[in-house]
Structure 1
Amino acid sequence: MFISLALLAHLFTFISVALSPSPVAAAPSRYVHPGVFLSRLQLDFIRLKVILKLEPWKTAYDAMLATPMAFLNRTATPWQVVECGSNSNPNKGCTPERQDALAAYAMSLAWYIERKEVYAQKALEYMNAWSYVLQGHNNTNAPLQTGWSGANWARAAEIMRHTYPGWQAADIAQFETMLRTAYVPQLLVGSNSNGNWELVMMEAAIGIAVFLEDSSVYDAAMAKFLGRVPAYIYLSSDGDLPKIAPSQNATLNTPAKLIKYWQYQDTFVDGLTQETCRDYAHAGYGLASIGHVMETARIQGDNMYSDGWGRLKDFGTRLFKALEFHAQYEPTGGNLTVPSWLCNGTISRGLGPITEVGLNALHARLRYPLPYTEKYTVAQRPAGTNYLFVAWETLTHGGCESGWGWW
């Protein structure tokens, strides 16, 4: 009897949880560099595609360079204390910090792709400017701010430290000090707000830990991440109600409290997230950080997606289900009618530029079909930035339909 590869992929999805062990919070015995979100192999691949003017990478690269954050006449605007309140009120240094971190990341990518000294020096300009000024963050959105900015500082710094010889030792040491004093203490506290907060905070902390080669920070952050993901994306194997993050066991101690935390959604299906009924944008933030951390962990030797036979592990299954669940209702995805049981029949669509990483990992690398996600992703290329922490992922992870994702 003939069984299609697509059917086998679906069968493997359903049996994966029982056959695959759960992830374990453990730092690598030897760190891989560059190893925050992108490996050297990936960077070389991207560089080759752009040099050869192949799509979608060439257009995505040009689009990145056309953003104001990649302008060479742009200057850094560091703050000593960044104060971020709810809904950006007050906004004292918050936007400059996030965008300077994004600019440093853009310049680090441009440096690696074109090997032009001007791009390398521009990336260092941003990182050095902030590291000699910033002392800390305060107000209600400080945890989220450190996550958003810290995630891109870590990516940029990892590329520059391990591919560009011109970053001076004293400046590297100062940058490390900034990360240890102005970011790590805030990040490792975690958050019991909506789940995208803690997810991006752990994304930043894990990236910083790789850059610093600090296994205690890595383990602490990964432990929180491993507890948060199953509490963010629901699977039917969780039971009648979603799982609860360990830090919230005391506060979400009744079904009514848990349902309220899930935006009053009381019907749970595979792939639903804790913020789906809030809006797709925030759910997209959470899914983005999950994919980012899984990529960093994979580079460091911990494959959270699948086992050695290509069967999805628990986290791979959750990301797979969540991407398809949300994309099916996007106008450029499946454009399906929203059922009445989901968010009272009304959802706020717009995942944003967050699907390239998961699509590349699950479809291009592991060959699982994600038809709605692929359609949505291709329709919005080249994916740009959300001006918070997601940036230029068609350039870094696009091209799944071309077989990109072979490593």
Structure 2
Amino acid sequence: MERPWKVNWQVKQRRGLRSTGALSVVTAIALLLLSIPLTPSAAVAGSTAADGTELTKDTLVSIERSTSAAGFSHPGIGVTADDLTTARAQVRAGVEPWKSHYDAMVKTGYASPTLKSKNAGSILDQPGTDAFTGTGTQSKLIEDSWGAHTQAILYYITGNSVYRANALKIIRIWSHMDPAKYAYYPDSQIHTGVPLYRLLSAAEILRYTSFDADYGDYGDYGDYNLAWREADTDNLTTNLIAPMTATFLYKNTNYFNQHSYPLVGALAGYIFTDNRARYSEGVEWFTVNATSPLQHQNGAIAGIFKHVDKNNPLNPYGYSFVQHQEMTRDQAHSGGDVDTLTGLARIVSVQGTKVDPVTGTASAARNAVSPYTFLDHRILAGANAYAQFMLGYETPWVDLTGGTGTLSSAYRGRLSDITVVNELYDIYTYKLGVNVEKKAPYLAEAHRQANGPLYYRGGSLSNFWGGIDTGPEFWLAFPMPLAGQAPPPAGDRHVQFEDKSVSFNPRKTSVRTEGDRTYTRVTGSPKGTTIALHDLHYQDRTKSSPVGLSIRTSGTSTLEISKDQNTPPFRTMTLPNTHNQWRYLTYDMANSAAPPNRTGDHIAYYTVKGRGNADVDFDHVNVLAGNELSPPVFPQGAATTLVTVKGTDFATSLAARDANSADTLSYEASGLPSGAQLASATGAFTWTPGQRQVGAHRLLVVADDGSTDTVLEVTLHVEKNRAAAYDRALDGYDPERAYTSASLNAFTAVADDVKASMETDTDRQFDSALVRLQSAVASLKLLNPTLADDDSLDYPSIVTSDLPVPTNVRNLTDGDYNTFSGDLKAPFSLDFGADFRVTPTAFGHQARYMFGNRSQGANVYGSDNGQTWTLLTSRETTDTTASNYAMETIPTLPEVQGMSFRYFKVQVDHPGPPTDPAYPGLSSFSEFRIRGARAEVPT
């Protein structure tokens, strides 16, 4: 029997399109467009292929539609023949949005006419590496799958045989892998399915398109066979599809989105090889996956997008809703669910497959439904919940296990990389006729704020074409009603408030335009007016990472910046009066200045507080401020406290520094007490406070370099005499607390010196002495700093550690069971230094949420030299999953009580069952508390 891919039309002649049935409206429009003579000016219409010439051709590649004996439509992996034909017609006619997406695609390296396989060997069509056992081969497949798919699309659109040859060579190389050299490796199920799908999408296009049999003399190989041969299908099936599926993809118990990623590749393989039985099984795995014994981690539609009934006793909201289960883990993984399940719905729908409305099995019954409408549009509902949270809105979510799980803030706000938002909106709106604004309002809002094919991410221009998820190829299947709708342009590298923010007080916010600037106006209030800005991508936060906030004001107010509406702000700033001029204010997002557990990864909530309806205009956030701005910097930091005595001619410098020597600074103060002066050119402050001015005075000093303002908050205490001023300068020193000897001795020396000369110093000398005394107080270090929540040692700032990232130490005391020490295969240790020892009485351990097994079986050891270790804990930690990851406080062994140590080591001695068998022995801790006292080593 002749295979469906071996057909008569793959001959020398190019023939027109064929179809065995009536033309659809889309196809008819496409054919009408194709019947118009393609002159160079009309055909290109601003779009070119990678070499800039192909779209001027007046010849077209034909495509063959086929239905196999197993009932599969070909070509039919991800897009239909009609989709491809329409996309080609629209691109060649310069119609948006096809044009912009095509133009973006050809800007990538995958569109190069000289593209070569990453796995090319020295022999034609043979791989350099024929074994698939690790990430090295995986990385090559990812790149080659993008290359082959891009080249195949370019071939069909342009007719240039160079692209067909490039794509065929990549595919043939992978079709000659050794099927005996496949072996599972960690996470292979996540990263191999989508590349296989993309490679087979390319093969499907080449298998069902015509070619120029006269084409040859290509590159170094001379004549190259451009026909799709039966051997190509056999080799691809035997050497790639079958072993990849068996080794990496065929499993229905993977964890959440690790279920859908491999299923993308498996279904593509089943379609390509006409495997109806496996395809039908895969469809059910996609919708319900009822046969999985691990339903608590089921990544199918019904499992991952859960319906929570209003009568569920765990539901506190009083209404039913759909929640996304993996959003309790993090929003990177949950976004992957939305993306891959949408891609799977398209793969299945392209084949015309409908499913039983309850069981989700492939069905031809009259009541069968589209995967998109399955379970009352469950994909749309799940994506809507995801968009709701990512945009910044409060989102209902319930831990259906009865535990303490909540929505994770990790990666919240990172919507820029999710192209599926547009795909879902277009499918439901234009193909299914759903009122998305009503049924999924948050998805509709995310669609309005979505990027075009080119966009800025963290200040760098990014391209939609690439990545690890399905979705980007959807541009080939744009619904016809989109014709003429241009996607958003790339814009600039700044994150614009009018494009990427939502308001929680709509009556007090508005979007306005003046000239070429569009901005968001926020009217402050005593309780605060809040907007949330998403898609923030900061620079390296392990060091100083300043961002610039472009604002305009006509008065002063307070700005609070937080990770959400329920967490205290990580930054509170006084907004100066910019006199209706646009200015930058900067703040540092370094981990040391803005602890990660208190800041949003990619989202920030800005709350304006003020009286008198203070208006603040927000233009954008500049995440490249560290490279592009040189803000004035006050040596005192953001705030300072000054102390003087009434009647004294007080003088000090409140000048700032600017790294750009070309900048000229000017100064302005608000709240100046009567008689005080601030020199606008130098920042020199002078004042002789009178008798009635004894007390505290607060003022703001603003340094302006013409583009950036920096605010210094000044508290000035005027005391009635020198003794009172001395006592005021001691604020922060507590004689009841124990301090380290070095810091206490330094402080005492300064305090005694200032006190001894208090009566003999001149006014100017005494003012300077008070500054020295304040500095000495600020330098005091507590011997036993404690945490506010349990009075255990606040050790992160007084230890060194072998943990890979410094912020991981702070994670161990931040009170958040979602932050953790890092996944390690070795113990971690803390070093209190050669001058100190700690006498512990107990240790507190809290497991990371969802991973109680990774801290199970741990002990704590102590040492004086970091080499010889003594067991300290009286028992090992347990898996606290059943107790909602409660803190375990474990006393020290009786025989070590009263002993002190320099080093402490936390080590898993008897690991719990691994979450993933591919990663045995991982240890990960959320909280680690030390109860005890630190003492200095006697000298």
In structure 2, the residue matched to 1:160 is 206
CA distance in structure 1 between the partners assigned to 2:183 and 2:113 by the alignment: 28
Question: Residue deviations 1:263-309, cap 9 Å, x none?
Answer: xxx99963422222323232222222222222222222223599799
**Relative contact order higher in (CA < 8 Å, ≥ 6 apart):** 1
In structure 2, the residue matched to 1:313 is 373
CA distance in structure 1 between the partners assigned to 2:304 and 2:154 by the alignment: 34
1:225 is aligned with what amino acid?
F
1:99 is aligned with what amino acid?
E
Distance 1:69 1:328, change over 3 A: same
Contact 1:60 1:395 in 2 (8 A): yes
Aligned with 1:74 (options 109, 115, 118): 115
Task: Answer yes or no: is 1:98 the counterpart of 2:148.
Answer: no
Task: Answer yes or no: is 1:178 the counterpart of 2:250.
Answer: no
CA apart distance, 1:234: 1.2
CA apart distance, 1:47: 1.1
Aligned with 1:234 (options 297, 306, 310): 306
Larger deviation: 153-162 or 368-377? 368-377
CA apart distance, 1:50: 0.8
1:347-358 equivalences in 2 (<5 Å):
348-349=411-412, 350-351=414-415, 352-358=418-424
User: Residue 355 of structure 1 aligns to a residue in which SS?
Assistant: helix
CA distance in structure 1 between the partners assigned to 2:375 and 2:137 by the alignment: 35
In structure 2, the residue matched to 1:39 is 80
Task: Answer yes or no: is 1:373 the counterpart of 2:414.
Answer: no
Identify the structure with the greater helix proportion. 1
Distance 1:329 1:69, change over 3 A: same
CA distance in structure 1 between the partners assigned to 2:443 and 2:144 by the alignment: 30
Question: Residue deviations 1:69-103, cap 9 Å, x none?
Answer: 2223232123322334xxxxxx3222111111121
CA distance in structure 1 between the partners assigned to 2:319 and 2:248 by the alignment: 30
Contact 1:235 1:270 in 2 (8 A): yes
CA distance in structure 2 between the partners assigned to 1:269 and 1:386 by the alignment: 37
CA apart distance, 1:208: 1.0
Structure 2 unaligned segments of length 5 or more: list them: 1-67, 120-128, 212-226, 290-299, 358-366, 399-404, 454-462, 485-939
CA distance in structure 2 between the partners assigned to 1:268 and 1:179 by the alignment: 49
CA apart distance, 1:237: 5.6
Question: Residue deviations 1:234-281, cap 9 Å, x none?
Answer: 12369849xxxxxxxxxxxxx9xxxxxxxxxx9996342222232323
CA distance in structure 1 between the partners assigned to 2:284 and 2:69 by the alignment: 14
Task: Answer yes or no: is 1:396 the counterpart of 2:501.
Answer: no
1:29-68 equivalences in 2 (<5 Å):
29-68=70-109
Distance 1:310 1:93, change over 3 A: closer
CA apart distance, 1:398: 4.2
Task: Answer yes or no: is 1:292 the counterpart of 2:343.
Answer: yes
CA distance in structure 2 between the partners assigned to 1:217 and 1:142 by the alignment: 21
Task: Answer yes or no: is 1:132 the counterpart of 2:176.
Answer: yes
CA RMSD of aligned residues (A): 3.4
Aligned with 1:189 (options 250, 267, 276): 250
Distance 1:377 1:102, change over 3 A: farther
Aligned with 2:262 (options 190, 201, 219): 201
CA distance in structure 1 between the partners assigned to 2:373 and 2:327 by the alignment: 23
Aligned with 1:144 (options 185, 190, 213): 190
User: Residue 234 of structure 1 aligns to a residue in which SS?
Assistant: strand
CA distance in structure 2 between the partners assigned to 1:356 and 1:146 by the alignment: 25
User: Residue 282 of structure 2 aligns to a residue in which SS?
Assistant: helix
Distance 1:112 1:336, change over 3 A: same
Contact 2:110 2:147 in 1 (8 A): yes
Distance 1:137 1:336, change over 3 A: same
Distance 1:320 1:139, change over 3 A: same
In structure 2, the residue matched to 1:216 is 277
Larger deviation: 273-282 or 97-106? 273-282
Contact 1:99 1:387 in 2 (8 A): no
1:63 is aligned with what amino acid?
A
In structure 1, the residue matched to 2:133 is 83
Larger deviation: 215-224 or 32-41? 215-224
User: Residue 132 of structure 2 aligns to a residue in which SS?
Assistant: strand
User: Residue 38 of structure 1 aligns to a residue in which SS?
Assistant: coil
CA apart distance, 1:197: 1.5
In structure 2, the residue matched to 1:117 is 161
Structure 1 unaligned segments of length 5 or more: list them: 1-26, 85-90, 242-254, 256-265
CA apart distance, 1:59: 0.9
Contact 1:235 1:269 in 2 (8 A): yes
CA distance in structure 2 between the partners assigned to 1:209 and 1:267 by the alignment: 44
User: Residue 254 of structure 2 aligns to a residue in which SS?
Assistant: coil
Distance 1:327 1:172, change over 3 A: same
Aligned residues: 346
Distance 1:230 1:171, change over 3 A: same
CA distance in structure 2 between the partners assigned to 1:345 and 1:195 by the alignment: 15
User: Residue 336 of structure 2 aligns to a residue in which SS?
Assistant: helix
CA distance in structure 2 between the partners assigned to 1:82 and 1:275 by the alignment: 30
In structure 2, the residue matched to 1:360 is 426
Contact 1:152 1:389 in 2 (8 A): no
CA distance in structure 1 between the partners assigned to 2:369 and 2:379 by the alignment: 18
User: Residue 36 of structure 1 aligns to a residue in which SS?
Assistant: coil
Contact 2:329 2:408 in 1 (8 A): no
User: Residue 326 of structure 1 aligns to a residue in which SS?
Assistant: helix
Question: Residue deviations 1:336-386, cap 9 Å, x none?
Answer: 356797935735232522223322221111121334334434521117145
Contact 1:194 1:275 in 2 (8 A): no
Task: Answer yes or no: is 1:384 the counterpart of 2:464.
Answer: yes
Contact 1:161 1:167 in 2 (8 A): yes
User: Residue 276 of structure 1 aligns to a residue in which SS?
Assistant: helix
Contact 2:354 2:371 in 1 (8 A): no
Contact 2:354 2:370 in 1 (8 A): no
Question: Residue deviations 1:43-66, cap 9 Å, x none?
Answer: 111111111111111111111111
CA distance in structure 2 between the partners assigned to 1:126 and 1:210 by the alignment: 20
Question: Percent identity among equivalent residues?
Answer: 19
CA distance in structure 2 between the partners assigned to 1:340 and 1:175 by the alignment: 44
Identify the structure with the greater strand proportion. 2
1:138 is aligned with what amino acid?
Y
CA distance in structure 2 between the partners assigned to 1:402 and 1:143 by the alignment: 36
Contact 1:128 1:175 in 2 (8 A): yes
